[in-house]
Amino acid sequence: MRKRTLTVLLSLALLTACSSGPEAGKTNNNTKIVAAPAPVFQNVSVHDPSVIKVEDTYYVFGSHLASAKSKDLQSWTPISSGVADGNVLIPNVKEELSETLAWAQSDTLWAPDVIELADGKFYMYYDACRGDSPLSAMGIAVADSVEGPYKNAGIILKSGMTGVGDDGEIYDATVKPNVVDPDVFFDKESKLWMVYGSYSGGIFILQLDTKTGFPLPDQGYGKKLLGANHARIEGPYMLYSPETDYYYLFLSYGGLDASGGYNIRVARSKNPDGPFEDSAGQEMINAQGTAGVLFDDPAYSPYGVKLMGNFEFQNTEVETAVIGDGYISPGHNSAYYDKDTGKYYLIFHTRFPNRGEEHEVRVHQMFMNSEAWPVVAPHRYSGETIGQYKQKEVTGGYKYINHNKDITADVVESEPIELTDEGKISGAVTGTWKLSGEHTAELTIDGTIYYGVFLLEWNEGTGSQVMTFTATSMEGVSIWGSHVSVEK
């Protein structure tokens, strides 16, 4: 990849000195730097984090029986890790889930999901998979407390067998699901559903019994929503928005390791079981691989709104670097809507530039744009609330990211642009922009319109508070911008 730095254009046109008072001064192009106390982050490693909120605490449960909790989505405390006896979630896990582990020929567990049902108990949908085949089993364990201990209630689905599968038909991995990656949710009519699947035959959905949590009878593997022929699509997660009255199906495309090109996408439907479409009106049932071709990424990469992939914000010559600011293979997300605050959160694991396979949980705030599609804030959540902004607050130099639509291990590096007072965009890309209402953003770049919001955020990479924008096009491409900032 080419290393991009800001040109003299930004160095001269952007930023002058900041004052040492509570609010910094303005630059000669109205870029405004606001002094703010640094948020406190406490990071944890939970792969494939699935979120549940119990009273005032958020919990994430992930692969390898890992879990953590937080009250503010910024500082996380580990609870458990490792599929071994003594894990507080399932203390005798090897014995308790022996049938599951034996079927899957595995010594570990993959991405689970936890939900509270009407009886006040917590139901963990666990799964194990051999990994190099869809030989998998999924079951339910139940606890009185969200932190366990959980007791096995039994297996609900199996896959990867030779012969007849759980739907009574011959199991074929190109059309039948790999029974992993569950997400269990209530729809707006209080019906209980489970969406699940990874690679293999695609993503499926089943209706569940609201009292027992088990699948309702005579559904087999359920209804297919998308995928087939080993398309690299997995980690489904459903979020209903009362604001838009849509069900949003989040998905991860690509491979989860640092060279896999993992990226987060979304589609939507008015019904929990579809059909789902992307912003271009494409039917997601057609997002599938090519028969006889393993992992044919170009066949399905055009489908779904891509929210985030590999990226790195490049610090400029006038900025002081605090830490590297970028993600590698972000994915397998969950999502949460807080009805009291109206905030949406995207919770996911990610790797980082130059840090190999090391991964941590990250949380970003989301917003619904004017076209009822989610857009994701460029920087991690630090407690910010979107506000009412004036044009002079959003003009100036930005570090610009275009996430494109491909599935790639390449890292998108930020490029310099400027939003001028006259509503023009100049620099690495050109076009026009406008601010309407309190914070609604509309940017037209190379003839394509992107709809989103402006948001004042904490930039962990520079240790400063900056204006940002996040927007997506009807073609399903997301763009980000982060104000350039300097400190004396």
Q: What is the DSSP letter of 310?
A: S
Three-class SS of 349-369: EEECCCCCCCCEEEEEEEEEC
Residue 398's nearest CA partner among 366, 352, 429, 373 is 429
Catalytic, 234? Answer yes
Annotated catalytic residue within 234, 278, 319, 384: 234
Query: How far is residue 196 CA from its own chain's centroid?
Result: 16
- HSE-CB of 92 using CA atoms within 13 angstroms: 4
CA distance 330 to 348: 7
State yes or no: cis peptide before 112, omega within 30 of 0. no
* Radius of gyration of the CA atoms of the chain, in A: 23
DSSP string, 398-462: EEEEE--S---SPPEEPEEEEE-TTSEEEESS-EEEEEETTTEEEEEETTEEEEEEEEEEEETTT
> For 299, phi and psi rounded to 5 degrees?
-70, -30
Residues 102, 104, 105, CA angle at the centre, nearest 5°?
Answer: 60
Structure token pair of residue 433: 């922009």
Please state, in angstroms and as integers, the Cα–Cα distance from residue 321 to each residue in 351, 400, 480, following that order: 19, 17, 19
Structure token pair of residue 363: 């949380």
Q: Which residues form the catalytic set?
A: 48, 234
